[in-house]
């Protein structure tokens, strides 16, 4: 519809992995982002495209729309009659309701010649303007701080052409409702608009993949705002105290050659100083207390009822990263509290964790725990298990382990398992049966995996209509407490 041109290096991953497994689409942006809007009329001898379609008349307009619909239907394998109806309904809606479109159209008819430009003043407080030239091919960059940028970029989300974020929105006192002299940050603004509220429909939360693009795009706006702040407030951040600058001056280097580098403080997440701080913390723990006692991987399960119960019709967890992120964070916090405050593994000396994201976009955390009393070899089996639990003593744990902690199966039982490379399992399953846990001074322990003859459990898993008997050789290591 409107130009949807995101500058910078944009990557849309909608991939099917080499082994045929389908991944969910992920929208990623790397580098600087520019939003551009083109001319309202096409150049001589060129056909109408994007925004220009709205300024065509009669048959031409219908034909152009039909061509666009056909091209999209071929690409997405859609029913063309159905898609045409949706597009013409959307077209009618936008023509009737979208204030920006109405403004463009009314101004276009007033133009005496093609050399005029329509100028919209998108922000009454700042005398900046969006110029939409009628015939110049040059694209005009939309500044992200302008009120109308979101509505031009996402016309289906902001279908009324309504104003969005700008830098001058004032915070209000929550008690009196009076305006304060503090501005609302873009992070506060978009967090507020992405929130789920009881009894209130939120169109952004219904937009599935488009919503994901919107969130990533708006987060870039938030980051840019932070970076701009840091760039213009280097004095406040006492840059002269940063060590490499001091060193340069101490070594009699020419200060003019040091240049105007902008220093990101350690409070800026992901900056070298931020990472360095974490590395130093981790190194201190290891230096003081030796190797950690427990290394726990905590993964996000998109089937958790806290996630599925909040999904809207037609959605899966992939469409709602806001829910998965919040639920994961809450569960991670409660796991850490459970482990460190209730002393389930004994008194905790210190702990740390790091959250990463899988290819599918789901978060997982790696947690390191140092205990006051180190785990002794004879205690390992009571804390860590690589076996199927006995359902007669712990049905709940049995259900969880058999549903979520079983590897594959792969190898001969399922050659198309994602872990298979060159006919081998990259995770080295199935493991061997072992009657006792064996610990080494260095390296990983080999956990107990008993066969049925030695008291191990089995269960039946159905894969591709075949029932497979799963024993302890296929179990991922898990914590039992």
Q: Which residues bind Zn ion (CB under 5 A)?
A: 408, 410, 419, 425, 427, 429
Task: Write down the least CB distance from residue 478 to Zn ion, Å.
Answer: 17
Cis before 430 (ω within 30): yes
Q: How far is the CB of 473 from Zn ion (least distance, A)?
A: 11
Do 237 and 265 touch, CB atoms closer than 8 A? Answer: yes
Give Cα separations from 365 to 106, 329, 332, 334, 352 (angstroms).
55, 10, 8, 13, 10
The DSSP-derived string for 274-342 is HHHHHHHHHHHHHHHH-S-SEEEEEE--TT-HHHHTTPPTT--GGG-HHHHHHHHHHHHHHHHHHHHHS
Torsion sign across C-alpha atoms 99, 102, 104, 107:
negative
**Closest to Zn ion by CB, 383 or 405:** 405
Task: Classify residue 345 as exposed, middle or buried by CB count within 10 Å of its CB (0-12, 13-18, 19+).
Answer: buried
240 φ, ψ (degrees, to nearest 5): -65, -15
Which residues on adjacent β-strands are paired with residue 22? 16
Radius of gyration of the CA atoms of the chain, in A = 29
In angstroms, what is the minimal distance from the CB of 410 to Zn ion?
3
> What are the C-alpha distances in Å from 313 to residues 7, 126, 156?
33, 42, 19
Q: Is 367 helix (H, G, I), strand (E, B) or coil?
A: strand
Asked whether 92 and 101 are in contact (CB, 8 A), the reply is no
Nearer to Zn ion, 336 or 470 (CB): 470
Q: Is 142 helix (H, G, I), strand (E, B) or coil?
A: strand
From residue 480, give the alpha-carbon distance in Å to each of 47, 145, 355, 371, 385: 66, 51, 22, 17, 7
Q: Which of 151, 131, 133 is nearest to 40 (CA)?
A: 133
Exposure of 345 in the CB half-sphere (CA atoms within 13 A) = 31
Question: Residue 21: CB partners within 8 Å, gap ≥ 6?
Answer: 418
Residue 330: C-alpha distances to residues 196, 323, 337 (Å): 16, 11, 11
Residue 423 CB, shortest distance to Zn ion, in Å, is 11
For tokens 């938030």, the residue is 222
- In terms of C-beta density within 10 A (0-12 exposed, 13-18 middle, 19 or more buried), how is residue 327 classed? buried
Report the alpha-carbon distance of residue 146 to residue 127 in Å, rounded.
Answer: 11
What are the angstrom distances between the C-alpha of 14 and each of 21, 28, 159, 423? 12, 11, 27, 26
Are the beta carbons of 156 and 89 closer than 8 angstroms? no
């Amino acid at each position: 519809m409107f130009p949807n041109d995101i500058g910078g290096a944009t990557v849309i991953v909608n991939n099917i992995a080499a082994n045929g497994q389908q991944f969910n689409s992920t929208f990623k942006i790397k580098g600087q982002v520019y939003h551009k809007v083109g001319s309202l009329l096409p150049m001589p001898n060129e056909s109408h495209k994007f925004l220009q379609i709205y300024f065509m008349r009669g048959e031409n307009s219908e034909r152009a729309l039909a061509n666009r619909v056909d091209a999209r239907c071929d690409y997405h394998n859609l029913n063309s009659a159905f898609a045409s109806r949706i597009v013409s309904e959307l077209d009618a809606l936008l023509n009737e309701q979208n204030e920006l479109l109405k403004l463009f159209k009314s101004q276009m008819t007033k133009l005496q010649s093609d050399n005029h430009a329509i100028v919209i003043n998108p922000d009454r407080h700042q005398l900046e303007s969006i110029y939409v030239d009628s015939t110049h091919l040059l694209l005009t960059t939309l500044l992200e701080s302008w009120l109308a940028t979101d509505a031009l970029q996402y016309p289906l989300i902001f279908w009324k052409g309504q104003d969005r974020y700008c830098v001058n929105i004032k915070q209000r006192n929550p008690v009196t409702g009076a305006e304060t002299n503090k501005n609302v940050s873009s992070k506060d603004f978009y967090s507020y608009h992405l929130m789920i509220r009881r009894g209130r429909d939120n169109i952004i939360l219904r937009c599935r993949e488009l919503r994901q693009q919107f969130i990533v795009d708006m987060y870039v706006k938030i980051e840019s705002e932070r970076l701009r702040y840091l760039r213009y407030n280097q004095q406040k951040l006492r840059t002269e105290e940063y060590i490499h600058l001091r060193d340069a001056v101490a070594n009699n280097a020419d200060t003019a050659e040091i240049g105007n580098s902008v220093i990101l403080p350690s409070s800026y997440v992901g900056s070298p100083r931020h990472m360095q701080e974490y590395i130093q913390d981790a190194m201190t723990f290891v230096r003081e207390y030796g190797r950690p006692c427990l290394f726990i991987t905590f993964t996000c399960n998109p089937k958790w009822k806290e996630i599925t119960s909040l999904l809207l019709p037609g959605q899966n967890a992939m469409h709602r990263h806001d829910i998965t992120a919040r639920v994961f964070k809450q569960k991670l916090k409660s796991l850490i509290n459970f482990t460190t405050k209730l002393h389930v593994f004994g008194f905790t000396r210190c702990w740390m964790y790091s959250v990463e994201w899988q290819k599918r976009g789901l978060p997982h955390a790696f947690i390191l725990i140092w205990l006051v009393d180190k785990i002794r070899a004879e205690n390992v089996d009571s804390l860590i298990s690589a076996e199927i639990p006995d359902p007669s003593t712990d049905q709940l744990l049995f259900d969880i382990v058999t549903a979520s902690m079983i590897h594959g199966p792969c190898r001969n039982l399922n050659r198309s398992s994602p872990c298979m490379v060159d006919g081998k399992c990259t995770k080295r399953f199935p493991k061997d049966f072992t009657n006792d846990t064996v610990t080494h001074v260095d390296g990983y322990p080999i956990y107990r995996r008993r066969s049925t003859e030695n008291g191990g459990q089995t269960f039946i898993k159905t894969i591709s209509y075949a029932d497979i008997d799963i024993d302890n050789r296929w179990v991922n290591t898990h914590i039992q407490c």
